[in-house]
């Protein structure tokens, strides 16, 4: 594209922006009154280590099942493709893509609008990104490259990024676990009964980082402190991905 | 035909962009009489951060530029922001390791490039300012920089024959305050966008996908491959799709094993933040020597050698320096290629832009 065209586009962009800004100001922020046949379900994630909320870069370390003392500087993961199952077995699907950041409160809510009234028996979701979206390059919103969750080439997104430091004898050194690739996508179903009747409900989702290091495989950070899901790391990445499957539980819906 | 397609793609991108801006940049109306500044951003950048209480206006930007280059803000009227942030040097201090303030006192940090600041969320090497407005208040009173008292600076501006009228045009009031001075300067700084480097022109503007690196044809692409693959640079300087060339976060990139300047720890008081500094953008890095928070490396070759073989271990060495700490084993040719890639981020239209230069 030539400079001149670029300029023209810029002018259009600028115009559009001004327009959208002014329309923004006039926008009525009050939500439409709820249609009575539908409700809202908000998934709220808290990120813990065995019941204690995680602290970024904490100077006191957590101890995992293998006895490693470690802390966390980065902990983020994707929740996508949420599905709600009614007791009659019918399903309501939401094509959502949400990046949960343990240290950014504003990221920890995923709101499902227009949930049909009814009695439900389960919530299902992916920890990660389905293969279509995983291989479509940088996208918008939580799938944008600025989240730092995109691997550079065809490998797609990191489904989970965990980084920090651990005690290695007397010294302290870093670890990093970047879990991704289609084969390590976790599809999770949590059975829980709840009823939506034209109201707003909250699902309290608890992610326990302790589970990342155990069940089924007790993982010793010292055995491998750097896993990026490269082809030669499939065994270890697979163990951690399997541990992730029961990392999140639905505490209650009310 | 191809152009029409590109245009269409741009417009689609633009439309989505503005839906977002509509959500995020909750701009207040501009002060009465001021003209909204047409703030266009390249499609391959994310959305900039514009504080609700400081919308960009033509008058505000032009006032900010004037203040940026006006000695009136320094104690003995001999220095301005531009003294240590010269556009020709990507807004750094004329190739100097440390800057000398008005009292000939020398600082201990290298001047920072001022590029694409509208996307940053922390300022200074150690992140001690959270907005550009807050940042701009700092240098004026800093004893080793402009060493002026704000009340003095403000009364000098009030007594000036032109400034009160300019503030009125920009902010609807003749009563000058330090906050308004900072707002005007911040508006000017947000216009300093660099997005027209060789790399932009060859790859981003024509929306070419970067998988050319599977079969690199030239030095720039071979360098790109090192940058985005085993060099691990992208973990901190921006992955594919994030073309600000910084993750806008803080890291210890292994300069020292015994850390003297504690960086982010000075601000957070957390020993886990020892030696972490803000990742600088790599755009125009060719012009901003010397390098790092203390300007310890005179050339980009020295920087590359640091990452190749000089990484020092310490208790807070970043998780994404793990591979680099083992040594990259780059050949002389690889290092040249990486250098060529870094140099492809140079944007001459940015450093020579008359809109940014003192007139």
User: How far A54 CA lies from chain B's nearest CA (Å)?
Assistant: 15
DSSP element (H, E) containing B237: helix B234-237
SS3 A174: strand
Q: Are B138 and B290 in contact (CB under 8 A)?
A: no
The pLDDT of residue B21: 33
Inter-chain residue contact A226 with B322, CB threshold 8 Å: yes
Do A127 and A227 sit in the same domain of this protein? yes
Mean pLDDT of chain A: 88
Is the minimum CB–CB distance between A60 and chain B shorter than 8 Å? no
> Same CATH fold, B49-192 and B2-13+195-350?
yes
pLDDT of residue B209: 79
CB contact under 8 A, B240 and A148: no
Q: Give which of B179, B191, B183, B187 is closest to B87, Cα–Cα.
A: B191
Give the number of other CB atoms < 10 A from CB of residue B224.
27
Beta-bridge partners for A85: A91, A122
pLDDT band at B5 (very low <50, low <70, confident <90, very high): very low
Whether residues A173 and A70 share a domain: the answer is yes
Interface residue A177 vs chain B (CB under 8 A): no
A179 closest CA partner among A132, A106, A247:
A247
Q: A96-107: b or e for each residue (b if 16 or more CB lie within 10 Å)?
A: bbbbbbbbeeeb
**How many domains does the structure of chain A reveal?**
2
ipTM over 0.90: no
Q: Are residues A249 and A129 both part of a single domain? A: yes
Q: Give the per-residue pLDDT at B107.
A: 86
Interface touch B272/A14, C-beta < 8 Å: no
B11 touches chain A (CB under 8 A): yes
Q: B19, A20: Cβ pair inside 8 Å?
A: yes
Average pLDDT over residues A145-151: 87
Residue A21 and residue A11: Cα distance in Å, rounded? 15
pLDDT > 90: what percent of chain B?
76
A143 touches chain B (CB under 8 A): no
Q: Among partner residues B16, B26, B211, which is closest to A24 by beta-carbon distance?
A: B26
Would the pLDDT of A168 be above 50? Answer: yes
Same domain, A18 and A74: no
**pLDDT per residue as tens digits for the range A108-137:** 999 999 999 999 999 999 999 999 999 888
Same domain for A105 and A5? no
Asked if residue A216 has a cis previous peptide bond (ω within 30° of 0), the answer is yes
Interface of B with A in 49-88 (CB under 8 A): none
Q: How would residue A33 be classed by pLDDT, with cut points 50, 70 and 90?
A: low
- Shared domain for A12 and A80, answered yes or no, is no
CA A207 to chain CA centroid, Å, is 10
Q: pLDDT tens, B331-358?
A: 999 999 999 999 999 999 999 999 999 9
The pLDDT assigned to B29 comes to 67
Say whether both A26 and A42 belong to one domain.
Answer: no
Q: Which of B211, B242, B207 is nearest to B224 (CA)?
A: B211
Report pLDDT for A86. 97
Question: Is the confidence at residue B8, as pLDDT, over 50?
Answer: no
Is it the case that residue B260 has pLDDT exceeding 60? yes
User: Across the interface, do B41 and A13 touch by the CB < 8 Å criterion?
Assistant: yes
Q: pLDDT at position A14, please? A: 46
Lowest mean pLDDT among A93-107, B25-39, B290-304: B25-39
Q: What is the pLDDT of residue B190?
A: 97
Residues of A in contact with B25 (CB under 8 A): 21
Looking at residue A148, what is its pLDDT? 87
Answer whether residue B10 shows pLDDT above 50: no
Same domain? A145 vs A166 = yes
> Reduced to 3 states, what is the DSSP secondary structure of residue B239?
coil
Domain range list for chain B: 2-13+195-350, 49-192
Considering only residues 213 to 242 of chain A, which have any Cβ-Cβ distance to chain B shorter than 8 Å?
225-226
pLDDT at B182 over 50: yes
User: Closest residue of B to A20, CA-based?
Assistant: B22
Task: Tell me which of B230 and A211 has the higher pLDDT.
Answer: A211
Which of helix, strand or coil describes residue B59?
helix
Examine the domain organization and report whether A123 and A246 are in the same domain. yes
**Contact status, residue A145 vs residue A138, Cβ threshold 8 Å:** yes
Question: Do A79 and A172 belong together in one domain?
Answer: yes
Minimal Cβ distance to A140: which of B16, B27, B240:
B16
3-state secondary structure of B308: helix
pLDDT in tens, B120-137: 999 999 999 999 999 999
Residues of B with CB below 8 A from A25's CB? 27, 29
CATH class of B49-192: mainly alpha
Q: What is the mean pLDDT of residues B287-293?
A: 98
pLDDT of amino acid B218: 95
Q: Which CATH number applies to B2-13+195-350?
A: 1.10.760.10
In this complex, do A73 and B242 lie within 8 Å of one another by their Cβ atoms?
Answer: no
* DSSP string across B247-284: -SSEE--SS-SS-SS-BHHHHH--GGGTTBEEPPP-TT
Would you place residue B87 in the very low, low, confident or very high pLDDT band (cuts 50, 70, 90)? very high
Domain containing A187: what range? 38-253
Q: Which residue has the higher pLDDT, B348 or A5?
A: B348
pLDDT of A141 > 80? The answer is yes
Task: Clarify whether residues A184 and A236 are in a common domain.
Answer: yes
Residue B47 and residue B56: Cα distance in Å, rounded? 15
Q: Are strands A38-49 and A200-208 parallel, antiparallel or unpaired?
A: parallel
Residue A21 pLDDT: 40
pLDDT at residue A18 above 50? no
CA dist B156 and A6 (Å) reads: 42
**Considering only CB atoms, which chain B residues are within 8 Å of A10?**
38, 40
pLDDT at B204 exceeding the cut of 60:
yes
Residue with tokens 């009160």: B164
Tell whether the model's pLDDT for residue A32 goes beyond 70: no
Same domain, A43 and A107: yes
Question: Average pLDDT of B136-164?
Answer: 91
Kindly tell me if the per-residue pLDDT of B64 is higher than 80: yes
Predicted local confidence at residue B32, as pLDDT: 73
């Amino acid at each position: 594209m030539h400079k001149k065209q670029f300029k023209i586009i810029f002018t259009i962009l600028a115009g559009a922006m001004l327009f959208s800004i002014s329309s923004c100001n006039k926008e009525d922020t009050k939500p439409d009154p709820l249609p009575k046949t539908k409700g809202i379900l908000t998934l709220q994630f808290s990120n813990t280590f065995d019941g204690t909320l995680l602290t970024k870069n904490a100077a006191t370390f957590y101890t995992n099942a293998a006895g490693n003392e470690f802390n966390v500087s980065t902990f983020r993961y994707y929740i996508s493709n949420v599905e709600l199952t009614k007791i009659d077995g019918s399903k309501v699907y939401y094509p959502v893509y949400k990046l949960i950041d343990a240290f950014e409160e504003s990221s920890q809510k995923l709101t499902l609008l227009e949930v049909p009234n009814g009695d439900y028996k389960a919530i299902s979701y992916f920890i990660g990104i389905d293969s279509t979206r995983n291989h479509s390059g940088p996208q918008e919103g939580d799938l944008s490259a600025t989240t730092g969750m995109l691997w550079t080439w065809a490998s797609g997104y990191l489904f989970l990024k965990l980084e920090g430091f651990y005690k290695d004898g007397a010294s302290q050194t870093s670890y990093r676990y970047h879990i991704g690739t289609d084969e390590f996508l976790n599809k999770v179903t949590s059975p829980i009964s709840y009823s939506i009747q034209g109201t707003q409900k909250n699902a309290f989702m608890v992610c326990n980082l302790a589970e990342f290091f155990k069940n089924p495989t007790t993982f010793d950070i010292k055995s491998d402190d750097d896993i990026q899901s490269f082809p030669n790391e499939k065994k270890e990445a697979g163990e951690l991905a399997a541990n992730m499957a029961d990392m999140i539980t639905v505490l209650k819906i009310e | 035909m191809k152009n029409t397609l590109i245009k269409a793609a741009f417009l689609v991108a633009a439309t989505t962009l503005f839906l977002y801006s509509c959500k995020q940049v909750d701009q207040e109306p501009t002060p009465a009489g001021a003209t909204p500044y047409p703030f266009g951003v390249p499609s391959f950048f994310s959305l900039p951060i514009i504080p609700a209480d400081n919308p960009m206006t033509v008058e505000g930007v032009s006032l900010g530029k004037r203040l940026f280059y006006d000695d009136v803000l320094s104690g003995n009227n001999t220095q301005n922001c531009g003294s240590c942030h010269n556009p020709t040097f990507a807004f750094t201090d004329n190739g100097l390791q440390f800057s000398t303030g008005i009292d000939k006192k020398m600082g201990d940090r290298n001047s920072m490039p001022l590029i694409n600041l509208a996307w940053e969320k922390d300022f200074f090497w150690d992140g001690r300012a959270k907005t550009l407005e807050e940042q701009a208040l700092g240098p004026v009173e800093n004893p080793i920089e402009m060493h002026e008292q704000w009340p003095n600076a403000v009364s000098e501006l009030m007594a000036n024959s032109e400034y009160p009228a300019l503030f009125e045009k920009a902010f609807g009031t003749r009563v000058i305050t330090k906050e308004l001075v900072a707002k005007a300067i911040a508006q000017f700084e947000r216009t300093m966008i660099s997005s027209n480097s060789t790399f932009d022109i060859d790859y981003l503007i024509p929306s070419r996908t970067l998988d050319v690196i599977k079969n690199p044809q030239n030095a720039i692409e071979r360098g790109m491959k090192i940058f985005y693959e085993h060099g691990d640079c992208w973990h901190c300087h921006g992955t594919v799709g994030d073309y600000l060339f910084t993750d806008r976060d803080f890291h210890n990139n292994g300069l020292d094993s015994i850390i003297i300047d504690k960086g982010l720890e000075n601000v957070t008081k957390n020993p886990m933040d020892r030696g972490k500094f803000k990742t600088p953008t790599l755009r125009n890095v060719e012009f901003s020597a010397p390098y790092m928070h203390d300007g310890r490396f005179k050339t980009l070759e020295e920087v590359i050698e640091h990452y190749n073989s000089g990484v020092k271990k310490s208790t807070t060495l970043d998780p994404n320096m793990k591979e680099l700490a083992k040594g990259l084993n780059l050949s002389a040719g690889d290092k040249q290629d990486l250098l060529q890639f870094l140099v492809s981020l140079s944007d001459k239209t940015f450093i020579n832009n008359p809109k940014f230069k003192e007139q």
